[in-house]
């Protein structure tokens, strides 16, 4: 049963991996675009995924109650998403998509409360790793899907909708591999072999954001222990890093065009500046409550229909602007509180707690913050980003509970005795 439970969790990770597989399986044909992500067949498939998540939660007595009490701000944010149907421009869409968000976050909370962090990260890494492995199969056998034939012609995207999604998923995969290797969980041969595979796909995807994020997270995992240094050493080090960051920021500003070219972007960040301007003007029209969760980008009928039909996008590509569009100022305040909790909680845990464990929390938090600049990562339904967010929040909000769990582990192949949180 323990192995079967992990198997189901891996299936959910794959379903939330941002791939074309749900549309391909549900519709029996290749997806023609992002709008196929909510076809009737896909909706039924995700309903099956919700049943799996609900079953996983109900298998552990009392887990549902603990999920509701992990963090008041998170509970308030999820409640606000449902309540926003009262003023949403499309109430039925908001309610339906709020259910999807609830189950997505619930799965992340389940992973955090059910497993030790090593096991939870291993489940995520295995699920994403299987998608990465399938990506190479698609690239070789079905290049019309696996290799971009449109804007980024020739870029490898594998089973994912676009190369930027590929970059994000590979970044989470690489973080899991590096961190698991760092803490000694799993076989090093498999971990390092997977890392080579991940880097190959990342390079061939030409995802500048994914490459930068992967490098950032790797450096954090390998150097997090430095935060435990003596104050007389730590403060000068932080000052030096601040100066380096300032110099780098100035250099990027002065050489902005060349820097964007190196990252595979143009000076408009692939059109993002135009979308952001449109988003800011829309927020100014309705700043207090927003347009209702996930209603602004509703298909062909929402305020953003032009960008959906002409640009084939369904988000504003900025986490903070997306929250404002969805839930207005209350949503923004709740998200600031949650990200602040993650950031300061992970830093304090690195400094005063288990720095090896907390290095993943800190890397994941900073990665979410970095991705939020160019992607809508915070309130994504059916998304690994939201799962990682909820998982990290559990381990930051309830560190004492996890500190009491056994620290030893011997791999992720189901050979260890997993902690039953019902005890």
DSSP of 154-204: T-B-TTBSSHHHHHHHHHHHHHHHHHHHHHT-S-HHHHHHHHHHHHHHHHH
The pLDDT assigned to 33 comes to 52
Task: Report the 10 Å Cβ neighbour count for 418.
Answer: 17
Q: Which of 376, 364, 294, 302 is nearest to 335 (CA)?
A: 376
Contacts of 227 (CB under 8 A, 6+ apart): 234, 347, 350, 351, 355
User: From the centroid of its chain, how far is CA 99?
Assistant: 18
Reduced to 3 states, what is the DSSP secondary structure of residue 311? helix
**Which of residues 296 and 228 earns the better pLDDT score?**
296
The pLDDT assigned to 29 comes to 63
**Which of residues 380 and 23 earns the better pLDDT score?**
380
Radius of gyration of the chain (CA): 21
With b meaning 16 or more CB within 10 Å and e meaning fewer, what string describes 126-148? bbbbbbbebbbebbeeeeebbbb
- Given a cut of 80, is residue 48 above it in pLDDT? yes
- Given a cut of 70, is residue 161 above it in pLDDT? yes
- 265: confidence class by pLDDT, cuts 50, 70, 90: low
Contact by Cβ (8 Å): 210, 202 = yes
Q: Which of 64, 59, 51 is nearest to 5 (CA)?
A: 59
- Given a cut of 90, is residue 147 above it in pLDDT? no
Contact by Cβ (8 Å): 314, 308 = yes
- Rounded mean pLDDT of the chain? 82
Residue at token pair 């050489």: 255
User: From the centroid of its chain, how far is CA 378?
Assistant: 8
- Given a cut of 70, is residue 318 above it in pLDDT? yes
231-to-223, 224, 347, 348 alpha-carbon distances in Å: 16, 15, 14, 14
- Widest Cα–Cα separation across the chain: 62
Task: Report the 10 Å Cβ neighbour count for 115.
Answer: 22
- Given a cut of 60, is residue 111 above it in pLDDT? yes
The pLDDT of 206-225, averaged and rounded, is: 81
Nearest-angstrom CA–CA distance, 404 and 272: 46
- 19: confidence class by pLDDT, cuts 50, 70, 90: confident
- 292: confidence class by pLDDT, cuts 50, 70, 90: very high
Percent of the chain scoring above 70 in pLDDT:
80
The pLDDT assigned to 306 comes to 85
Task: Report the 10 Å Cβ neighbour count for 181.
Answer: 18
Which range is most confident: 63-72, 102-111, 199-208?
102-111
- Given a cut of 50, is residue 417 above it in pLDDT? no
DSSP state, residue 312? -
* Helical segments of 184-304, H only: 188-205, 208-223, 231-254, 256-262, 272-285
The pLDDT assigned to 423 comes to 36
159 token code pair? 């089973």
- Given a cut of 70, is residue 220 above it in pLDDT? yes
DSSP state, residue 35? G
The pLDDT assigned to 410 comes to 38
Nearest-angstrom CA–CA distance, 102 and 276: 27
- 415: confidence class by pLDDT, cuts 50, 70, 90: very low
DSSP state, residue 128? H
The pLDDT assigned to 402 comes to 46
- 146: confidence class by pLDDT, cuts 50, 70, 90: confident
Task: Report the 10 Å Cβ neighbour count for 247.
Answer: 10
- Given a cut of 70, is residue 253 above it in pLDDT? no
With b meaning 16 or more CB within 10 Å and e meaning fewer, what string describes 345-361? bbbebbeebbbbbbbbb
Which residues face 147 on adjacent strands? Answer: 156
**∠ CA 194-195-197 to the nearest 5 degrees?**
65
Contacts of 238 (CB under 8 A, 6+ apart): none
* 64-88 tens-digit pLDDT: 888 888 899 999 999 999 999 999 9
């Amino acid at each position: 049963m323990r192995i079967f439970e992990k198997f189901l969790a891996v299936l959910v990770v794959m379903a939330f991996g941002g791939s074309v597989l749900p549309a391909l399986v549900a519709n029996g044909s290749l997806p023609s675009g992002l709008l196929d992500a909510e076809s009737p067949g896909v909706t039924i498939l995700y309903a099956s995924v919700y049943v799996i998540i609900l079953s996983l939660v109900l298998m552990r007595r009392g887990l549902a109650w603990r999920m509701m009490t992990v963090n008041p701000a998170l509970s308030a944010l999820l409640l606000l998403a449902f309540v926003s149907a009262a003023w949403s421009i499309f109430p039925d869409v908001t309610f339906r998509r709020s259910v999807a968000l609830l189950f997505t976050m619930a799965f992340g909370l389940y992973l955090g409360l059910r497993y030790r962090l090593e096991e939870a990260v291993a489940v995520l890494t295995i699920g994403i790793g299987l998608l990465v492995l399938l990506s190479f199969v698609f690239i070789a056998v079905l290049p019309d899907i696996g290799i971009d034939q449109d804007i980024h012609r020739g870029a490898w995207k594998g089973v994912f909708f676009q190369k930027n999604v590929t970059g994000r998923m590979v970044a989470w995969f690489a973080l899991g591999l590096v961190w698991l290797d760092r803490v000694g969980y799993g076989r090093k041969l498999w971990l390092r072999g997977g890392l080579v595979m991940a880097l190959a796909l990342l390079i061939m995807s030409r995802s500048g954001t994914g490459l930068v994020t992967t490098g950032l997270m790797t450096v954090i995992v390998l150097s997090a222990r430095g935060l435990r240094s003596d104050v007389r050493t730590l403060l000068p080090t932080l000052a030096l890093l601040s100066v380096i960051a300032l110099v780098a920021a100035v250099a990027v500003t002065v050489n902005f065009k060349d820097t964007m070219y190196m990252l595979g972007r143009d000076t408009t960040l692939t059109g993002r500046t135009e979308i952001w301007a449109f988003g800011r003007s829309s927020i100014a029209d309705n700043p207090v409550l927003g347009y209702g969760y996930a209603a602004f980008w509703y298909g062909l009928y929402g305020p953003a229909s032009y960008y959906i039909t002409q640009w084939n996008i369904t988000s504003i590509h900025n986490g903070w602007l997306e929250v404002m569009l969805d839930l207005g100022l209350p949503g923004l305040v709740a998200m600031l509180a949650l990200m602040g909790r993650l950031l300061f909680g992970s830093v304090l845990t690195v400094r005063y707690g288990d720095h090896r464990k907390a290095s993943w929390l800190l890397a994941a938090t900073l990665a979410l913050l970095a991705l939020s600049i160019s992607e809508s990562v915070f309130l994504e339904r059916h998304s690994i980003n939201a799962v990682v967010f909820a998982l990290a929040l559990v381990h930051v909000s309830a560190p004492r509970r996890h500190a009491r769990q056994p620290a030893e582990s011997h791999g992720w192949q189901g050979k260890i005795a997993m902690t039953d949180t019902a005890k």
